[in-house]
């Protein structure tokens, strides 16, 4: 037998490289499909969900807020802001009081986020994350005096905490990773794997059906995050951002309402610059909101005018956060203010 005749015979026993790679690829695809099916089984899925860390948003509890919006398409009032709103606004108490005074029936949601201190961050979350899901008639922005009027030095110096409030949802890489995360259990496992191994649960909190997270205890009053300087150095910058937010919401047909949240400091000893500086802060807020036709409620002063005394310690969990009792105590005043200041179309 000649060599020329042997070559075809030998090829019968040699694998075609392209065919081999194709079979290997199909085998791997098959195993990935099997793994995807296994990961979608309820017992496996529920276990992985305990450790979910979504790749799009850094700020804690954003996925919970998204579910809250989707589960309440009839909500026409959104409360937004930082932890002072998160722990201080209870829609379940406010809504019945409000609806007794208006022709239309209203439903509000608490969309407050921990550490959401910067107005431009709030606006990007509204524009890029919350408003694409639904459109309320009213957005109520609650601000905590120390963080609204001052550069929160201790907070900004903690770069990890500062970064945690930023919204990264519009970055192309995060858009892609977020889409894969939402549609493929295998991608969710890959992203969550190190949390599963370390048994580090996802950042979740037990909120109510309207997003409120209450604290039913009063703890030792502590001094809030250090502020820089003794003047309201951040106030004017934030007022510009509030105007921008108001104008942005108007283009969507949404009314902005501003609330100055209370803090525990009966004699203002801890407010930088003292009592006169706090009064200057409130005076500037009042004038600015009037000029911009933004309804403004100073919850703190309204309560003290009503009761002719400072708010009791039992109304606070700490300096910036109301207790469950405090959230209940301020609810009638918020409800009354909303009833009087909603745009006619919202009433």
**pLDDT(160) > 80:** no
- Domain regions of the chain by residue span: 17-49, 62-168+203-341
Is the separation of the CB atoms in 279 and 287 below 8 Å?
Answer: no
> Residues near 283 by Cβ (< 8 Å), separated by ≥ 6?
none
Query: Residue 274 — pLDDT band, cuts 50, 70, 90?
Result: confident
- What pLDDT, on the 0 to 100 scale, is given for residue 159? 62
DSSP 3-state of 83:
helix
High-pLDDT (> 70) share of the chain, % = 82
Q: Which of 97-111, 170-184, 216-230, 309-323 has the highest mean pLDDT?
A: 97-111
- What pLDDT, on the 0 to 100 scale, is given for residue 46? 86
DSSP 3-state of 80:
strand
Which DSSP letter does residue 226 get? P
Q: Summarize pLDDT for 187-205 with one digit per residue, the tens.
A: 888 888 888 887 777 776 6
Higher pLDDT, 5 or 272: 272
**pLDDT(56) > 90:** no
Distance between CA 280 and CA 106 in Å, rounded? Answer: 35
For the residues of 13-64, what is the DSSP string, one character each?
TS--HHHHHHHHHHHHHHHHHHHHHHHHSHHHHHHHHTT---SSB-STTHHH
High-pLDDT (> 90) share of the chain, % = 37
Is the separation of the CB atoms in 114 and 61 below 8 Å?
Answer: yes
The enclosing H or E element of 273 equals none
Distance of CA 27 to CAs 34, 115, 188, Å? 11, 47, 22
Distance of CA 102 to CAs 95, 97, 292, 336, 343, Å? 11, 9, 25, 10, 11
Q: Which of 72-76, 189-193, 213-217, 265-269 has the highest mean pLDDT?
A: 72-76
Average of per-residue pLDDT across 288-303? 91
Higher pLDDT, 59 or 283: 283
Q: Summarize pLDDT for 304-340 with one digit per residue, the tens.
A: 777 666 677 788 887 778 888 889 989 999 999 999 9
Which of 243, 244, 230 shows the shortest CA–CA distance to 288? Answer: 243
**pLDDT(223) > 70:** no
- What pLDDT, on the 0 to 100 scale, is given for residue 12? 46
Higher pLDDT, 272 or 76: 76
Distance between CA 340 and CA 334 in Å, rounded? Answer: 10
**pLDDT(346) > 50:** yes
Average of per-residue pLDDT across 274-289? 89
Per CATH, the architecture of 62-168+203-341 is what? Answer: 3-Layer(aba) Sandwich (3.40)
- What pLDDT, on the 0 to 100 scale, is given for residue 5? 52
Distance between CA 176 and CA 275 in Å, rounded? Answer: 51
For the chain, first and last CA: distance in Å? 99
Q: Summarize pLDDT for 132-154 with one digit per residue, the tens.
A: 999 999 999 999 887 788 766 65
User: How does the average pLDDT of the chain come out, rounded?
Assistant: 83
Distance between CA 121 and CA 116 in Å, rounded? Answer: 7
């Amino acid at each position: 037998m000649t060599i020329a005749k042997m070559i075809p015979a030998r090829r019968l026993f040699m694998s075609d490289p392209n065919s081999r790679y194709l079979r290997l690829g199909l085998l791997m695809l098959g195993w990935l499909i099997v793994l995807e099916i296994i990961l979608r089984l309820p017992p496996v899925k529920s276990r992985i969900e305990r450790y979910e860390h979504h790749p799009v948003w850094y700020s804690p509890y954003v996925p919970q807020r998204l579910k809250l919006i989707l589960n309440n398409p009839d909500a026409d009032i959104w409360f937004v802001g930082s932890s002072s709103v998160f722990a201080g606004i209870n829609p379940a108490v406010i809504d019945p009081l409000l609806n007794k005074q208006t022709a239309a029936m209203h439903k509000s949601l608490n969309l407050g986020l921990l550490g959401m201190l910067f107005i431009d961050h709030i606006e990007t979350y509204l524009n890029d994350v919350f408003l694409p899901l639904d459109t309320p008639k009213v957005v109520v922005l609650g601000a905590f005096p120390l963080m609204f009027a001052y550069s929160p030095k201790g907070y900004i110096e903690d770069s990890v905490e500062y970064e945690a409030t930023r919204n990264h949802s519009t970055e192309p890489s995060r858009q892609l990773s977020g889409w894969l995360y939402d549609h493929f259990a295998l991608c969710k496992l890959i992203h969550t794997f190190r949390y599963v191994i370390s048994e580090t649960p996802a950042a979740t909190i037990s909120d109510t059906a309207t997003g409120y997270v209450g604290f039913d205890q009063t703890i030792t009053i502590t001094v809030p995050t250090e502020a820089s300087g003794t003047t309201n150095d951040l106030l004017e910058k934030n007022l510009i951002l509030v105007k921008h937010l108001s104008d942005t919401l108007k283009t969507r047909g949404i009314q902005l309402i501003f609330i100055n949240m209370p803090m525990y400091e009966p004699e203002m000893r801890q407010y930088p610059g003292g009592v006169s500086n706090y009064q200057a802060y409130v005076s500037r807020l009042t004038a600015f909101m009037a000029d911009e036709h933004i309804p403004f409620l100073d919850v703190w002063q309204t309560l003290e005018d009503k009761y002719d005394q400072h708010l009791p310690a039992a109304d606070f969990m700490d300096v910036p956060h109301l207790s469950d009792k405090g959230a209940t105590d301020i609810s009638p005043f918020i409800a009354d203010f909303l009833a009087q200041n909603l745009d006619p179309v919202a009433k």
